[in-house]
Every structure is written in C-alpha cells, then in structure tokens.
Amino acid sequence: MTRDSSHRPAPAQTWNAALYDRSHSFVYKAAADMLELLNPQPGEQIIDLGCGTGHLTAMIADRGARVLGLDQSAEMIAAARKQFPKLAFELADATSFTVPEPQDAIFSNAVLHWVHPPGAAVEAISRALRPGGRFVTEFGGKGCMARTIAALNTALGEPDLGRRPWFFPSIAEYAPLLEEHGFEVRFATLFDRPTPLEEGKHGLRNWLTMFGEYYLARLDAAERERIFQEVEKGLHDELWREDRWVADYRRIRLVAVKL
C-alpha cells in the first residue's frame, strides 16, 4: 500500500488506562530511579506532569511531598483517582497548565515526547516553578524507536519523511529550550534503554496498539494485521530476544533549575 502521508493530519492519541496498566507497567517501573534524581523532600510541593495512572505520583507522595498529578487524558485521571483516592489528580494540558502557588519541583516521566509544541510545555513548567525550583524529566530522546519506525514506514509503504507523532530531541536541541525559558541545566544524558515488552510474542503489536495510533488509526482490522505481521518479520532479528520483544527506546534525562 502506498499512501502520500505528506498532508496526513495527526490523529490525536487516545489512552487506554487498563491496557497501559496491564501491559505497559514497564513505563513507570523503569523510572523508579528517577525518584532518586528528584529526591522529594517531606512537605515539598511537587507536580507530576503527565501522571498517567498515578503510580509514580504515589511514590512521590510516599516520600512525604504534597504532590498533584496532572494529565490531559480523562481516562488516565479517572484510573489514577480510583487507584489512589487519597491523592490529588487533575485534568490539565502540559502546554498551558497553571498552578495557584509556585512549586518546588516538577517531575515528568515518559510524557514530553508527546507534547507539542515542546517550547510551550517548557514555558508552562518554568511559570509554575519557584526560583530555585527543579525540573526533573525523562522522555524519548533522539533516535528513540528508530528501527521500529523504519519498519513501520516500510510496512505502510511510506517514505520516512521525518514526521513523527513524537518529539525525540537531542541534548543540543533541548538544553537551549530550557535556557531560553529561564532554566540552568544541571544534568543531561541521552542513553539507549532497550526495553523488554510484556506479553511475549504479542508485545510489539500491543505496543503499536497502545502508542501507534498516528500510524494505525485509519487502517481496518485486516490491514492492521498485515502491518503487524510485516513489522514483526522486519524486526525479528534485531529486536526479538528469546521469548520477548525488546523495544529500541532511547531516553533523554535532564535536571534543570529555575533561575
């Protein structure tokens, strides 16, 4: 199938909280060490931006911080409130959220690659922090899922024109954005994070179903099946390990302080 995708509007990603918690718990489990970087202190006021189903929000609260989870998906917020009824969660957009009081820290895991335009999110984050407040984040970095995206484009019969539903920056792209918005970057790293997917041979197609709506939304069930099979075949040698798929994630991780 060949399609000119040059004018394709990006379908909005929708979120399935049950599928996320059942098959994609690696997203928040892999981020537990991010908490050490955040180092939440008792009584600190912290926002978990893009809190999803609230697992990391709860870990921050366990350290004694007063934490508010924000997410732009009503389904995720409903699931978070249900699982953690004592914690505060609100629907909000990362590019425009405001808070009544300046925050001590903003934490964001596996979210900012979804947010456009990235500068608007950095501006909102900067506005929400007190001077000296910290921004601690990790998300998809330059080269993330490159092999998977290439296999997907090949299966779809589309040239890779560099369009992505995601923003995967290098440090050289992201650090200036932070500096422009009044931050000092204290720590930045870009690293490979091969990520074992759950549910064995279904792992890759589950990942594509959960995160790949941009590519798959307009396909019917038979077309999707064909795409899944072609992508699986194309990636088998590179990304299949013994009994599971291992996603070719790359991560950018940063700590910045508001001046």
Binding site for ligand BEZ (CB under 6 A): 27, 110, 113, 140, 144-145, 166, 211, 249
Query: Which residue's CB is nearer to ligand BEZ, number 35 or number 88?
Result: 35
Give the rounded distance of the alpha carbon of 59 from its chain centre. 18
Instruction: Report the nearest approach of ligand BEZ to the CB of residue 204 (Å).
Output: 13
The CB-of-42 to ligand BEZ minimum distance in angstroms stands at: 30
Nearer to ligand BEZ, 27 or 204 (CB): 27
Q: Closest distance between ligand BEZ and the C-beta of residue 145, in Å?
A: 5
Question: Residue 166 or residue 240: which is nearer to ligand BEZ going by CB?
Answer: 166
Q: At what angle do helices 203-211 and 221-239 cross, to 10 degrees?
A: 120
Q: Check if the beta carbon of residue 77 is closer than 8 Å to that of residue 89.
A: yes
How far apart are CB 122 and ligand BEZ at their closest, in Å?
18
Nearer to ligand BEZ, 107 or 211 (CB): 211
Shortest CB 259 distance to ligand BEZ, Å = 29
Number of residue whose CB is nearest ligand BEZ: 140
